[in-house]
């Protein structure tokens, strides 16, 4: 058993742990401070004692005049170079052992004086290069060099011609000029020793035997062929050349890669910091190259340290430490500050330490030491070997374990004991033995499988080792299992329905049950989902109700049951089917004057395959969207294109597509792009062609203008054709105004009230279109026109339906004295309205009856008649009244069933019951037509059944409506009966299909099809 043991509190018993270790010190011999302090502080309880080693030998701290301890730190009084220089280590010791600190070097910084000997004069030619030697005095510690020229207080400034080497101290002048003549003095500074000294001056003079000619660079300052540098440190490489002209200096890497941004060039370009490979010097006379290699080394760093171990007697210890570095570090081990050597129980291999069969003498403080030529690092850990009797105070047996019938349970027994205790178990007073259901693990745990009620009771763990025996007990409680008795099951539902997913359980009476539902992996929040989800049921029932289920509720539902002793779940898939989603990408592929080719992509089918598509259009003249005819006429669910027919030329259209399935009709697609059909010759002639009146010599012709959607193109206008009654030749006139509805022909030779035959046609830029039928129009009258003087007689009225009545009268025989009659005007009003608010309708010529439509059902109406001409209206007849019939039945025939045998259709439906304010049902109309023909046939019957004999070469479309005094009632939804050839292509057929019409479509209830071979 291995435990990591961490010490966080000051009063916890543990070995020393360094919190401060000594570091390298360089002491200046001339320092005013007469004492050196090497730091060392460690935590530990009991408090540690300290001692020090110098160069591996214990220091005699009794020499109080020279050494003293400041807590754990070592103070050296009046340090002596020969006596105190060396490597120091601190050792901290308490009752748990000893640890050794890192190594710290003590060095002494000093700077001696130059020799006083006079320097020789250096004589060179102008243009020649020169090296002035510094010859530094004895010293220790980093020193820097500078040169003074002719006692100038400023140092010689380095540039491309002059360079001071910080390696040798020498001054290099690449090309001597007359201004360089003078005395040069080398100045050496030791920053640590806080000293600077000057050497004797070196005179520089020019020779008189001429000027030095040009020559190629000669490298005088070279960096080593191999330079070592610590990772993360800085290194300086020097390179300088003499030459005439002054050489240029450039640096580059030997492998051709660009120099790193970390590289720093000094003013003379003679120093490269961090890394360098080639120094290239050159002038017009040639070039020279110095090459070198930079080798990076790395100090050791810990990748893995050892940790404190708290082990039992006779256990085994295994420690491993790992460090990185360049070169790779080697490993050694210390115990209590002394080297640890391999022996029979102790194995050391690289960074691993193994000690078997631990005994009490193995306790102590251990250190793993990783070392390469550049540094040494230490990792510390404590090993404690424990010997004790079994003890349950920290890890007692669980007082109560709860299990369920048929399940399993584990009761742990983990006393603290060293060495590890031998464990036995009792139930009550009886010893337990292993069998098929009872298992005792090596770790002391007791496992019982396939639990029964009789397993309940008190279990006692008995732990024993050479130092003693301990007992500890716990109680096992056995409860009934929780079982989901009514799990949720797979459901297939229609959008908008409400469903219940059951989840019922049986459980132990003492166990509290918590139900949780999840949907597609997410727990349902019943507070947030209150609009759709609701938990219903009691203590053992956790049913889930989903109200008004939506398409996005399709998925996996999981009922999770949780008790204090177990948890279980059951899942079910719910498929929600709904009307299709809107079709996508409706595109008009081609458009003509009366047709348009459409294509689209199917939308989502919402779990119910699309059975049919329909196309709708909208124009600026339509009221909303209108269904249109297509080719093919029936667009099944696998049809994604169709040709729309029956469009009006030169009209802007939008198209959309609607999909339907067995659930219902879905949302329409987005409208297509707005497009205009191509122009064509107009086909609709003006209506209500009439006229008359006007002045003498005038023929006034009027008509109703053609609506814009029927003009079929640009350049629309009217063609007027007229001739005297009895003539064979026509007079033609053109009216180019689209809004015109009147044309006046003037001719002095026109006889008053002479009749003319008149036709009005249409045209546009595509050509001339249809002419209206011939109407008789009279020319204007001569002189003053007299309005009719006589009221019509014989007025009567008859009610045809809830919204229509017919008014009839006798024609007036007129002459010049009674006023010419051009036609009659019918006025009508309700009992509670005034005659001034009456409806009014006119008829022309000798028409003596008029149907009035759009009336209110079951309402008393009054009507009167008067004649009119161009001068005005005559007197009204005596009013007559009539009450319109009650409204037709509002409910259509329902529950329609049909049976098809050979060429006979048998239809049955329920009798329609009417409301009190509706007309009684007198009978029924069956309207039927072939699929591809527009002609509709009508069969009337007084019964709620009918038979139709029809040839079945095409599909048939059938609808049924009621007949009453108030008119025809609402129609049933259209029924499609397939042609026989689509059912089978050979043999005689007997096919029965029973269909019920419901509000959202047709549902097939049964289908029987038999064939007999020919």
The predicted structure's pLDDT at residue 1003? 32
Is residue 761 in some structural domain?
A: yes
Alpha helices by DSSP H, listed for 783-824, are none
How many structural domains are present in the chain?
9
The predicted structure's pLDDT at residue 256? 74
CA distance 676 to 929: 32
CA distance 220 to 237: 13
Same domain, 134 and 76: no
The predicted structure's pLDDT at residue 276? 54
Same domain, 911 and 972: yes
- Quickly count: other Cβ atoms within 10 Å of residue 969's Cβ: 24
Same domain, 147 and 58: no
List b or e across 570-605, with b for residues whose CB sees 16 or more CB atoms inside 10 angstroms: bebebebbbbbbbbeebebeebebbbbebebebbeb
State the pTM of this model.
0.46
Backbone φ, ψ for residue 42 (5° rounding): -140, 145
**In the structure encoding, which two tokens stand for residue 955, read together?**
């599909």
Same domain, 629 and 705: no
Residues 321-364: pLDDT tens digits?
999 999 999 999 999 999 999 999 999 998 999 999 999 899 99
Q: Which of 191, 213, 235 is the last residue of a domain?
A: 213
The predicted structure's pLDDT at residue 1014? 26
**Residue 670 bridge partners (DSSP):** none
Same domain, 951 and 914: yes
Is residue 584 in some structural domain?
A: no
**In the structure encoding, which two tokens stand for residue 502, read together?**
């059951």
Same domain, 491 and 573: yes
The predicted structure's pLDDT at residue 73? 93
**In the structure encoding, which two tokens stand for residue 203, read together?**
């005179």
Is residue 958 in some structural domain?
A: yes
Low-confidence ranges of the chain (pLDDT < 70): 1-11, 63-64, 261-277, 529-530, 782-785, 816-817, 832-837, 902, 931-934, 951-954, 978-1014
The predicted structure's pLDDT at residue 491? 94
Backbone φ, ψ for residue 835 (5° rounding): -65, -25
Let me know: does 171 contact 186? Beta carbons within 8 Å: yes
Same domain, 475 and 511: no
**In the structure encoding, which two tokens stand for residue 413, read together?**
């027994």
Q: SS3 for 536-590, per residue?
A: ECCCCECEEEECCCCHHHCEEEEEEEECCCCEEEEEEEEEEECCCCCCEEEEEEE
**Residue 870 bridge partners (DSSP):** none
Let me know: does 928 contact 965? Beta carbons within 8 Å: no
Which CATH number is 971's domain given? Answer: 2.60.40.10
- Quickly count: other Cβ atoms within 10 Å of residue 677's Cβ: 21
∠ CA 1009-1012-1013 to the nearest 5 degrees? 135
CA distance 202 to 208: 19
The predicted structure's pLDDT at residue 263? 61
**In the structure encoding, which two tokens stand for residue 209, read together?**
């035997």
CA distance 774 to 691: 12
Let me know: does 300 contact 321? Beta carbons within 8 Å: no
Same domain, 23 and 60: yes
Same domain, 135 and 163: yes
The predicted structure's pLDDT at residue 262? 59
Is residue 863 in some structural domain?
A: yes
Q: Which of 853, 883, 913 is the last residue of a domain?
A: 883
The predicted structure's pLDDT at residue 22? 95
**In the structure encoding, which two tokens stand for residue 333, read together?**
């081990």
CA distance 529 to 521: 15
The predicted structure's pLDDT at residue 445? 94
Same domain, 177 and 120: yes
CA distance 727 to 723: 6
Residues 683-699: pLDDT tens digits?
999 998 988 777 778 89
Q: Which of 714, 746, 779 is the last residue of a domain?
A: 779
Is residue 514 in some structural domain?
A: yes
Is residue 269 in some structural domain?
A: no
Same domain, 438 and 454: yes
Q: How far is CA 11 from the centre of its chain?
A: 56
Tally the C-alpha atoms within 13 A of residue 745's C-alpha that lie toward its C-beta: 23
Same domain, 127 and 105: no
**In the structure encoding, which two tokens stand for residue 632, read together?**
């093919």
The predicted structure's pLDDT at residue 985? 34
Let me know: does 777 contact 692? Beta carbons within 8 Å: yes
Sequence-separated (6 or more) residues with CB below 8 Å from residue 114:
135, 136, 137, 186, 188, 197, 198, 199, 200
Q: Report how far apart, in Å, the C-alpha atoms of 621 and of each of 586, 593, 671, 802 are.
A: 22, 17, 16, 30
CA distance 761 to 352: 114
Pairing, β 226-230 against β 293-304: parallel
Q: Is the peptide bond before 245 cis (omega within 30 degrees of 0)?
A: yes
Is residue 277 in some structural domain?
A: no
The predicted structure's pLDDT at residue 1? 37
- Domain span at residue 352 reads 305-386
The predicted structure's pLDDT at residue 668? 96
CA distance 818 to 812: 9
Is residue 373 in some structural domain?
A: yes
């Amino acid at each position: 058993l291995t435990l990591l043991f961490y010490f966080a509190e000051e009063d916890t018993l543990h070995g020393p742990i360094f919190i401060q270790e000594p570091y390298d010190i360089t002491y200046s011999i001339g320092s005013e401070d007469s004492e050196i302090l090497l730091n060392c502080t460690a935590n530990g309880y009991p408090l540690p004692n300290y001692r020090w080693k110098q160069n591996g030998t214990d220091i005699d701290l009794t020499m109080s005049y020279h050494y003293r301890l400041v807590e754990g730190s070592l103070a050296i009084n009046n340090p002596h170079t020969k006596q105190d220089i060396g490597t120091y280590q601190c050792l901290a010791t308490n009752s748990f052992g000893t640890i050794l600190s890192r190594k710290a070097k003590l060095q002494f910084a000093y700077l001696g004086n130059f020799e006083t000997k006079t320097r020789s004069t250096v004589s060179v030619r102008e243009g020649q290069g020169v090296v002035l030697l510094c010859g530094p005095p004895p010293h220790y510690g980093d020193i820097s060099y500078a040169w003074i020229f002719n006692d100038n207080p400023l140092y010689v400034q380095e540039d491309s011609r002059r360079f001071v080497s910080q390696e040798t101290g020498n001054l290099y002048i690449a090309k001597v000029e007359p201004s360089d003549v003078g005395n040069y003095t080398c100045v050496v500074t030791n920053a640590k020793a806080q000293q600077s000294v000057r050497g004797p001056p070196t005179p520089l003079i020019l020779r008189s035997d001429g000027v030095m000619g040009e020559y190629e660079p000669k490298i005088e300052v070279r960096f080593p062929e191999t330079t070592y540098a610590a990772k993360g440190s800085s290194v300086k490489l020097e390179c300088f050349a003499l030459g005439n002209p002054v050489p240029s200096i450039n640096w580059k890497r030997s492998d051709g890669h660009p120099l790193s941004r970390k590289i720093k060039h000094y003013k003379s370009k003679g120093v490269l910091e961090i890394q360098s490979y080639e120094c290239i010097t050159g002038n017009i006379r040639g070039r020279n190259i110095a090459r070198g290699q930079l080798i990076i080394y790395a100090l050791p760093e810990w990748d893995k340290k050892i940790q404190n171990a708290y082990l039992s007697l006779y256990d085994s210890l295994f420690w491993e430490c790992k460090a990185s570095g360049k070169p790779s570090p080697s490993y050694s081990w210390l115990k209590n500050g002394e080297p640890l050597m391999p022996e029979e129980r102790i194995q050391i291999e690289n960074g691993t330490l193994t000690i078997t069969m631990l005994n009490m003498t193995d306790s102590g403080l251990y250190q793993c030491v990783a070392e390469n030529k550049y540094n040494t690092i230490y990792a510390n850990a404590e090993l404690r070997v424990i010997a004790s009797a079994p003890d349950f105070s920290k890890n007692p047996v669980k007082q109560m374990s709860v299990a369920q019938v048929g399940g399993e349970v584990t009761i742990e027994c983990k006393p603290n004991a060293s060495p590890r205790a031998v464990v036995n178990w009792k139930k009550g007073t009886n010893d337990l033995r292993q069998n098929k259901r009872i298992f005792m693990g090596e770790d002391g745990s007791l496992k019982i499988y396939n639990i029964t009620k009789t397993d309940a009771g008190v279990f006692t763990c008995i732990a024993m080792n050479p130092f003693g025996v301990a007992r500890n007990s716990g109680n096992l409680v056995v409860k009934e299992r929780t079982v989901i008795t009514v799990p949720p099951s797979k459901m297939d539902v229609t959008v908008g329905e409400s469903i219940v997913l059951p989840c019922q359980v049986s459980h132990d009476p003492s166990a509290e049950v918590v139900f949780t539902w999840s949907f597609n992996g997410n727990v349902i929040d019943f507070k947030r989902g209150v609009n759709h989800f609701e938990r219903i049921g009691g203590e053992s029932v956790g049913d889930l109700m989903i109200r008004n289920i939506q398409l996005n509720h399709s998925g996996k539902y999981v009922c999770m049951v949780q008790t204090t002793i177990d948890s279980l779940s059951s899942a079910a898939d719910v498929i929600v089917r709904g009307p299709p989603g809107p079709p996508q990408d409706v595109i008009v592929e081609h458009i003509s004057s009366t047709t348009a080719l459409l294509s689209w992509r199917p939308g989502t089918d919402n779990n119910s395959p699309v059975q049919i598509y329909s196309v709708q259009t909208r124009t600026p003249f339509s009221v909303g969207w209108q269904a249109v005819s297509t080719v093919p006429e029936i667009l099944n669910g696998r049809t994604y294109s169709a040709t729309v027919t029956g469009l009006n030329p030169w009209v802007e259209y939008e198209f959309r597509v609607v999909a339907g399935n067995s659930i219902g009709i879905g949302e329409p697609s987005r409208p297509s792009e707005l497009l205009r059909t191509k122009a064509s010759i107009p086909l609709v002639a003006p209506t209500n062609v009439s006229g008359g009146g006007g002045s003498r010599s005038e023929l006034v012709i009027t008509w109703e203008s053609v609506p814009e959607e029927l003009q079929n193109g640009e350049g629309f206008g009217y063609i007027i054709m007229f001739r005297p009654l009895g003539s064979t030749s026509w007079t033609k006139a053109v009216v180019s105004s689209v809004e015109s509805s009147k044309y006046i022909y003037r001719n002095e030779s026109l006889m008053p009230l002479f009749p003319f035959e008149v036709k009005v046609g249409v045209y546009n830029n595509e050509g001339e279109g249809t002419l209206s039928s011939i109407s008789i129009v009279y020319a204007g009258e001569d002189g003053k026109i007299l309005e009719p003087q006589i009221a019509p007689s014989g007025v009567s009225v008859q009610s045809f339906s809830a919204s229509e009545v017919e008014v009839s009268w006798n024609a007036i025989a007129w002459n010049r004295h009674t006023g010419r009659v051009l036609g009659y005007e019918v006025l009508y009003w309700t009992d509670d309205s005034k005659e001034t608010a009456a409806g009014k309708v006119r008829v022309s010529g000798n028409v003596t009856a008029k149907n009035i439509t759009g009336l209110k059902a079951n309402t008393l109406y009054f009507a009167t008649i008067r004649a009119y001409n161009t001068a005005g209206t005559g007197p009204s007849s005596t009013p007559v009244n009539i009450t319109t019939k009650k409204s037709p039945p509002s409910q259509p025939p329902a529950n329609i069933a049909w049976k098809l045998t050979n060429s006979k259709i048998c239809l049955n439906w329920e009798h329609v019951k009417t409301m009190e304010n509706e007309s009684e049902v007198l009978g029924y109309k069956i309207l039927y037509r072939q699929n591809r023909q527009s002609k509709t046939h009508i069969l009337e019957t007084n019964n709620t059944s009918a038979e139709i004999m029809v040839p079945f070469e095409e599909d048939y479309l059938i609808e049924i409506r009621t007949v009453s005094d108030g008119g025809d009632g609402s129609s049933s939804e259209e029924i499609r009966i397939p042609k026989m050839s689509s059912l089978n292509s050979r043999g005689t057929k007997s096919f029965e299909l029973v269909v019920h019409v419901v509000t959202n479509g047709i549902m097939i209830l049964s289908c029987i099809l038999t064939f007999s071979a020919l």
